[in-house]
Each structure stands twice: as structure tokens, then as C-alpha cells.
Amino acid sequence: MKIDRPSPEHIGAEVVDIDITLVDAVEVEIIKQLVYEHKLVVFRGQNPNEEQYLEFAQKIGVPQIYPQENYHHPDYPEIFVSSSIPKDGIKFGVSGTGRYWHTDCAFLDQPLPLTMLYPQVLPNSIRETYYIDMQQVYKKLPANLRSYIDGKYLIHEGKWRYKVQEWDIDKSITELLDDFEKKFPPAKHPAVITHPVTHAKILYMSQGFTTRIKGLDYEKNQEVLRELLSFIQRDEHIHTHLWQDGDILLWDNRTLNHMASTVPKGEKSISYRIGIYDSLPFYLPSLIHSGE
């Protein structure tokens, strides 16, 4: 296994000369530590089938079965399918997923610690996924914005990202939102979390799921969230991964916001995602002294 490590101010260690279908326990531990240290690990030149891909995820931790079944691979429910292409004439997964800044499953009480992504079909034109290191963002956060989030809780909601399905015909938007919220009520997490391995402080929020700061009224919430998201999403904070055939990415969902690129109309795209629980708490307990 050969590792190309980035400079300290950049994310994304690259692992070459390795076949993920053959990794042993020692190599798995090295890989996990690379993820915690560098936030993102890129494996080049891979070609596992679905079963081998899932077996690699199982060596790292416990794969999630995503709570909405329409995202499941028909034979491997642990594989979350993002696809614009039918399979054997039948709708396959969900198209157009993740085209906004987010961290996977922030709207759950137990968010996903690790995310692994393996494209099966890449578009001809745009082949990118974007990342923001929220540990570095927190370090750079201006004092006036930091004062609004230190010691506070944020509320995260998934209902605004619900994708309408065939069985939703004749339901109103209000019914759809209410149904989703009953299944997945808003989650509350500290605005600044402490990583269980590195003990780094991380701003845990995103455009996609964060809806408010506890303790602020509606108008102030809207103002502060706009300012925070504008700072977070500055161009200088964005790392772009340009996909090559055979790439598999594994990243720390605690630390990174990510966003999928838009696929131009008519182009084909299929990706297999596996969320992984790594047996660690998502974040260490924090002493929250305000914002209840």
C-alpha cells in the first residue's frame, strides 16, 4: 500500500497499489486512521463487484441500511443508489441526489460517521464532488459569527430534501412534509462538535439540513444562518475531487460537508454509496451552557 499524503492545510490522502478486496485487518486500521487524519481517502484503480464493495465496508465498520427503501440496491440494501438509469427497465435508486451542501444523515439523532462512494457510470462532462473542511472553517470563523454558535445547539431537518415518489400522487406538499417529519423528527446537535479521535473542534452545520440556531428568534436566525453559510461556502474553502474511472472515496462525515455536481440533462450517472458506523460516538459529549 502506497500513500500520498497532502500538506497539512489540504484534505485527501491518496492510496495506490492496493486492491480493496484483499485488505487485511492491519491495512484496515491504517485506512481508518488516514480518514480521521486527512478527512478524505481516495482509492485509485478499483473494480470490485457489489458484494466485494460491501465486504470492504464491513471490514471498516457496520454498513447502514438507509431508512428510505427507494434508495436501496435491490440485492444489497446497504448500498444507497443514486442513478439516472433504469435497471432492466425498472427505476433504479433515486436520481439527482446530494446536489447541495450537506453532511449525510445530519437530520438523524445518530448521523453517519463515514461515507464511501463508488461511481459505476460517470457523466461525460462534469465529474466532480465538492468538499469543505469544517474543522478549518471553524478555525477561520470571524469572532462575531463564532459568538452565535459557540455553546449552542443547531436544529437539522431532512424533510425539505424529500424527493417525491410515485406513491405520493394526490398528496399535498403539507401532507408529504408532515409524513416525513413524523418518521424523522428534527435532530438537535451541538453547533461545534469534538471529534472522538482527533479531539478537533468542528463546526457541524450545512446548507442542506441546518434550519435554525436554538435560542435565536426567526429573524435573527435567518440573518445569522445567511452570514454563516456565506462564509462557509467561500471558494477558498472548497476542495474539488475530479473523478477518474475506478475511484472509490471514503471520508469522515463528521468533518466534511460535501456536494455532488449537477449532471447535465441526458447524461448518464450511477453511484453506489455506503454509510458506515465506525463503533465510535459521532462526537464527544460537550458541555453546552446556553441555547437550550
d(CA 147, CA 157): 23
Q: What angle do CA 213, 39, 3 make, to 5 degrees?
A: 175
> What secondary structure does DSSP assign to 163-206, as a single string?
PP-GGGTT--HHHHHHHHHHHS--EEEESEEE-TTT--EEE---
The pTM score is 0.93
The predicted pLDDT at position 10 comes to: 77
Residues β-bridged to residue 240: 130
The predicted pLDDT at position 2 comes to: 74
Task: Give me the count of residues in the chain.
Answer: 292
The predicted pLDDT at position 290 comes to: 42
The predicted pLDDT at position 247 comes to: 96
The predicted pLDDT at position 291 comes to: 41
The predicted pLDDT at position 289 comes to: 45
The predicted pLDDT at position 25 comes to: 96
* Structural domains for the chain: 2-277 (3.60.130.10)
**Residues in the chain with pLDDT < 50?**
288-292
Query: Pairing state of beta strands 187-190 and 153-156?
Result: antiparallel
Query: What's the grid cell of residue 49?
Result: 463487484
